[in-house]
Structure 1
């Protein structure tokens, strides 16, 4: 038996190889999770490493914790606005879509393997869900920037469909083993998986946001640990109460990530590292759990089942599930193609083995082979399919530097990084011509590997990374300068902006997305304000312009009240 020191040594070696393989995967265009699996298989009992590992119960436990870390990080980075926009199609995919995929694949599996129909349906249920770990990994490392609605639908679906897969798997195992409760009991299991998981995740999420902001920790490094502990609490509590821990921690991450919390960037970076560690541990361990010789024995049957799953079951399930939600045809094709399988099916495939079900080993090996085929074909071809369908564009390059505020108390400000694209409103503009609000400062410009200290004469070129310090409330408006906004972000009545008095009227129209001014575009906004009863303020679109409290400044107050607007002379 290996000593603890030897075990730690081998774990370090496997982690290093896993990290190196992630770099290699980018060069050959192979999904990184496939290489992680490959590292585990090479290190396994039939590989060069010769590490014997066949403890399915331990693998299930480690896999659950690792997947929880991955889902937590995925939830942190999921925009609540995206969830609100896509929860209906995503929920349909994660329930009806999983059910249809499972049924269609189950019929094929029963016929191909020559097993009873219930056994085939069990295999279909195990591979029926889209895997969150695989989807998050592929979308983050593919180098593609997909339409936001499409990305959000895939992420929310993959993060929320595990309860359905677990429900179907557990229920079918109980029926096959003769331990199933009544139909009412099975329905209760379904309700508990979704209801308890969602309730616990959302409830603890809001409680965590409140606690993180009010607890006074003297050491910054404790805030990410606090967030992790609360996330694991939501996972464990939901599971103990009979709900889905995976759904709970994913929703917990969404709530916490979309809340205004202290030490936000530190929490995000910590859990990004945790998610990568979870991916490496999870897929390397699953690779160790496999036996290539056993996979070869079921390769023929596994390939047929995988082809039915990829080309028939998933596309039909997507077409039926999201038909009412007005996706374009090419988006439907893409959704049908990105039914990636990964850690969850392999983890679920250990359930029949743990239950002592006859034929459990056959199901595990077939599921493992199907996951390999899915990860290699769908994962590797995802960027190609997106470009072929004209859905994806190359994602923005990662800046070689970072600049951020790590505050242990709430501050009314943040530093935001933007990337200048050829279609950005600021592309080709000189900083002094932007007429940014007084509480906005361009702090740093990074052009390729060069750090530029911004001056008024600095121009912004496509590809530049621009770091801007601003009041938090100004972020939506500033974002529209760099990313095309179909509509101007809504403003609250009474919201005020302070500008330099020498800012041109046309510049202010440009900043707020107003129509071009007539005749006064080149005049400084301050020159329009003259002393006197009717000259102390002017109307600029929906704004009332007055002299600011600071010399050389003017204040623009947004108002939608006609009486307030009529008090000033319209310009």
Structure 2
């Protein structure tokens, strides 16, 4: 529907998508389903599809997500009393340790049984990651709102366990990945110019390159520089100045070049 509805103002597309979110949650709730799960699955489907004005929608939704997180944690902070945490610390600690060492690993291994291609190291890593977000705390507020007897104790226990998981598992994710040899080098994405191609152009990519003294010894103009076939220099940034590239432009050390190339080009051929 996002791709078929023609709206003259691109700023209205994020609002349209937001209305679909409320619609998905409401209709699922009316049908006695899980509205949160429905929105989550819908988000996965939309996020992996080609939609019009994708970058504008992503920017707005990212801002809304951060705003919701700020409001959510502010509200959760108002519900928590530190002295009540101490009262349930012993029980919550035992439950938390059980969840971290037995409960979650067991559930993860059982759920991943059909996926034969996932190796043992990956299964162990997934088991260790744990749930460190505010979602379990949000769900723990439901019995509090419904005024269920003992709901405050449940809320405090869930809050304590989440904080425990955050401290123990959340701070050791990178370490666990390194120990299991699952960490990969950080891959740079995007470019320093802040320029992006439209979503429809999926066969091209933008890269940036900084001119070095070693490169200038081999070629000091664009026409003499050996770039991969199908790669063009779009603009040259020299300090705070932007220059229109041409073959005779004399390059300086430190110049930044914005390149456009085919995605299947071998990046190794681009000078470092």
Q: State the Cα distance separating 1:264 from its structure 2 match.
A: 1.6
- Post-superposition Cα deviations, 1:472-514, rounded to whole Å, max 9, x if no partner, equal xx65x35xx349xxxxxxxxxxxxxxxxxxxxxxx9xxxxxxx
- Post-superposition Cα deviations, 1:436-476, rounded to whole Å, max 9, x if no partner, equal 2xxx64535889x99897777999xxxx99653x7xxx65x
Cross-structure match for 2:24: 234
Measure, in 2, the Cα distance between the counterparts of 1:283 and 1:344: 11
Q: What TM-score do the two structures reach when normalised by structure 1?
A: 0.38
2:228 pairs with 426, 434, 442, which one?
Answer: 434
Larger Rg: 1
Cross-structure match for 2:132: 341
Cross-structure match for 1:416: 205
Measure, in 2, the Cα distance between the counterparts of 1:444 and 1:366: 57
2:174 pairs with 380, 383, 408, which one?
Answer: 383
Q: What TM-score do the two structures reach when normalised by structure 2?
A: 0.75
Change beyond 3 A, Cα 1:255–1:453: farther
Measure, in 1, the Cα distance between the counterparts of 2:41 and 2:234: 35
- Post-superposition Cα deviations, 1:128-161, rounded to whole Å, max 9, x if no partner, equal xxxxxxxxxxxxxxxxxxxxxxxxxxxxxxxxxx
Measure, in 2, the Cα distance between the counterparts of 1:455 and 1:372: 57
Change beyond 3 A, Cα 1:276–1:432: same
- 1:401 equivalent in alignment to 2:193: yes
Q: How does 1:500-515 map to 2 (within 5 A)?
A: none
Q: State the Cα distance separating 1:319 from its structure 2 match.
A: 2.2
Higher helix share: 1
Partner of 1:374, secondary structure, is: helix
Q: How does 1:500-539 map to 2 (within 5 A)?
A: none
Measure, in 2, the Cα distance between the counterparts of 1:280 and 1:356: 25
Measure, in 2, the Cα distance between the counterparts of 1:348 and 1:394: 36
Q: State the Cα distance separating 1:351 from its structure 2 match.
A: 2.4
Q: Which structure would you say has the larger RCO, counting Cα contacts within 8 Å and 6 or more residues apart?
A: 1
Measure, in 2, the Cα distance between the counterparts of 1:441 and 1:233: 46
Q: State the Cα distance separating 1:293 from its structure 2 match.
A: 0.8
Q: State the Cα distance separating 1:274 from its structure 2 match.
A: 1.4
Pairs aligned (count): 247
Maintained 8 Å contact 1:418/1:466: yes
Change beyond 3 A, Cα 1:296–1:397: farther
Cross-structure match for 2:73: 283
Cross-structure match for 2:218: none
Q: State the Cα distance separating 1:217 from its structure 2 match.
A: 2.2
Q: CA RMSD in A?
A: 3.6
- 1:321 equivalent in alignment to 2:115: no
Measure, in 2, the Cα distance between the counterparts of 1:246 and 1:419: 40
Maintained 8 Å contact 1:349/1:364: yes
Partner of 1:262, secondary structure, is: coil
Maintained 8 Å contact 1:403/1:467: no
Q: State the Cα distance separating 1:231 from its structure 2 match.
A: 2.3
Measure, in 2, the Cα distance between the counterparts of 1:305 and 1:395: 36
Maintained 8 Å contact 2:10/2:53: yes
Measure, in 1, the Cα distance between the counterparts of 2:245 and 2:79: 54
Cross-structure match for 1:223: 13
- 1:295 equivalent in alignment to 2:85: yes
Partner of 2:205, secondary structure, is: strand
Q: How does 1:184-199 map to 2 (within 5 A)?
A: none
Maintained 8 Å contact 2:24/2:38: yes
- 1:245 equivalent in alignment to 2:39: no
